[in-house]
Amino acid sequence: MSLDANAEQTLAKWHKMVAARDLSRVGSLCTPDAVFRSPVAFAPYKGAPLVAQFLQQAMLVFEEFAYHRTFTAGDHSVVLEFSARVGDKTLRGIDMIRFDAGGRITEFEVMVRPASGLQALGAEMARRMGPILAAKQT
């Protein structure tokens, strides 16, 4: 029940990017058809560029972001527990990440609690992602 070596390598790169607060190359960790499942919306956002934009904007929104426990399921799935602050709201959450055989990210799902934290995060993400999503549709 320990992570595949390729996935482990991707996860190490992810942690390095987060520590440096520089996610400019995060798209390179994802498969082209990777999906992002937001804590707010039901429908997934598809494609590495969009996954990257969500992660980049979220990183700008979160303050005092810190990872805690790392959970693994089989050799291709992890859950990373985190805490963060958005404005005056403290929140706890998880990144649930699935990797393909080559170690690239195929699915990045985020959940947070409590409701007040989700609301603050959702409002801030809508403000930032709204123009990006609107531009994509035109």
Residue closer to a second copy, measured from CB, 12 or 115: 115
Looking at 16, 21, 24, 41, which residue binds a second copy (CB under 8 A)? 41
The H helix count followed by the E strand count for the chain is 3, 6
Q: Which of 50, 52, 117, 129 binds a second copy (CB under 8 A)?
A: 117
Of the residues 27, 35, 38, 53, which one makes contact with a second copy according to CB under 8 A? 38
Q: What is the 3-state secondary structure (H, E, C) of 88-129?
A: CEEEEEEEEEEECCCCCEEEEEEEEECHHHHHHHHHHHHHHH
- Rounded to the nearest whole angstrom, what is the least distance from the CB of residue 138 to a second copy in the complex? 25
85 binds a second copy (CB under 8 A): no
Bridge partner list, 70: 80
Least distance in angstroms from the C-beta of 28 to a second copy = 25
The total of other beta-carbon atoms located within 10 Å of residue 118's CB is: 18
